[in-house]
Amino acid sequence: MAESDNIVAETAEKIFADLADAQTINSDKKGNWKAPLWKALSEAGLPLSWVPEACGGSGASLAEGFSVLSGAGRFAVAVPLAETMLAGWLLALAKIGCPEGPMTVVPASPKDRITLNTDGTLSGRARDVPFAKEARHIAVLAHGSSGLSIALVDAAGCRIEAGLNLASDPSDTVMLNNIQPVAIAPVPKPFNQTQLMLMGGVARSLQIAGSLESMLEVSVRYSNERVAFEKKISKFQAVQHNLARLAGESAAALAAATSAADAIANCKTFDDEVFLEAASAKIRCSEAAEKGSAIAHQVHGAIGFTIEHILHRYTLRALAWRDDFGSESYWAVELGKLVAARGADELWPLVASR
């Protein structure tokens, strides 16, 4: 990692440590922590990390932005940071200037589709859009008769049905009914919706990997504090075995997510090798989220299920992030299609290329 990557990551980590402490947030039932955190992130230019300065952003590299997402995962940050970064990245592809404030991206599911009508308006329905209710603007990838376009839409003009994911974070349904975009431009070829889903999937993979690191840290600390039968539970072989399994899941998720992020940061096009990395990362990190969350709660026992304990901030978000931008089952099918299409003789060269 370059020195500049460390500076961006350290800046994000300091902001999270100062303003996104899990225990403080857990005790704040009114959500007063959100405004100061978002203000600090915005002043540091982190939400628009992937937007060139010419389009109103910070001009950071993809690698620098990915380091921010890893930190956000470790703190289980429940603000639209990743969503705004993705929206800014999408708008920057079409050289559309980015407005201030939180944004999100539509569609957030590979099966949803937004249509660009002949009169230049947008129509369609997108489900499970993260933080749509809190977004001021939405970056939309739309399908038209002449190909794909990227549009900037004022969220106030859309019909948004509020919803919640497993962690009780906004996961809304966005309906566009002949919405006139603020700005619109054609997509540079060969970009497509699959590439948007892959980018979002890698962002979620990094967040899941980060949350698993925190689950492991919290679980190890608790096992060294909790005493049963006159000794710390960390001394029991069964607990040691579970912690070792949790460490393995965390390491596997981190390796898969960072490898996929590195592949995207250094690629010129989203080729089959990048698809393999990104799809595999989402699959493996989603599996690790399920297994790791179960282990962490087992180590904590009953106290880990209480709303007062911070563990749920990490486990529920890791589990919720599995479904964003394509579930593990969706990407497993798509990866299988790629392997089948290339043929058996091409499988090992594809794997070995990374």
Quote the pTM value: 0.95
Structure tokens at 128: 């499970």
Say if residue 354's pLDDT is above 80.
Answer: no
pLDDT at 4: 46
Q: Which of 75, 30, 331, 352 is nearest to 200 (CA)?
A: 331
pLDDT at 15: 97
pLDDT-above-70 percentage for the chain: 98
pLDDT at 3: 43
pLDDT at 349: 86
pLDDT at 68: 96
Backbone CA torsion sign across 191, 192, 196, 201: negative
Q: Give, for 248, the enclosing helix (H) or strand (E).
A: helix 237-265
Render pLDDT for 191-221 as a digit per residue (tens, 0 to 9): 999 999 999 999 999 999 999 999 999 999 9
pLDDT at 299: 95
pLDDT band of residue 176 (cuts 50, 70, 90) is very high
Q: Given the structure tokens 């376009």, which residue do they identify?
A: 149
Mean pLDDT of the chain: 94
pLDDT at 268: 86
Render pLDDT for 332-351 as a digit per residue (tens, 0 to 9): 999 999 999 989 888 888 88
Report the half-sphere exposure of 206 (CA within 13 A, side-chain side): 25
Give the separation between CA 91 and CA 139, rounded to whole angstroms: 6
pLDDT band of residue 190 (cuts 50, 70, 90) is confident
Say if residue 225's pLDDT is above 80.
Answer: yes
Q: Give, for 75, the enclosing helix (H) or strand (E).
A: none
Which one-letter amino acid corresponds to residue 148? L
Render pLDDT for 250-266 as a digit per residue (tens, 0 to 9): 999 999 999 999 999 99
Render pLDDT for 106-159 as a digit per residue (tens, 0 to 9): 999 999 999 999 999 999 999 999 999 999 999 999 999 989 999 999 999 999
Q: Which residue has the higher pLDDT, 304 or 176?
A: 176
Give the separation between CA 169 and CA 76, rounded to whole angstroms: 11
Structure tokens at 300: 């904590």
pLDDT at 7: 87
Do residues 202 and 261 make contact, with C-beta atoms less than 8 angstroms apart? Answer: yes
* Neighbour tally for 146: CB within 10 Å: 8
Give the separation between CA 217 and CA 219, rounded to whole angstroms: 6
Say if residue 99's pLDDT is above 60.
Answer: yes
Do residues 167 and 204 make contact, with C-beta atoms less than 8 angstroms apart? Answer: no
CA angle 345, 110, 183 (to 5 degrees): 125
Query: Please, what is the angle between helix 193-223 and helix 272-300, to 10°?
Result: 30
Render pLDDT for 6-50 as a digit per residue (tens, 0 to 9): 788 899 999 999 999 999 999 998 889 999 999 999 999 999 999
* Neighbour tally for 23: CB within 10 Å: 11
Average the pLDDT over 226-249 and give the result.
94
Give the separation between CA 86 and CA 30, rounded to whole angstroms: 27
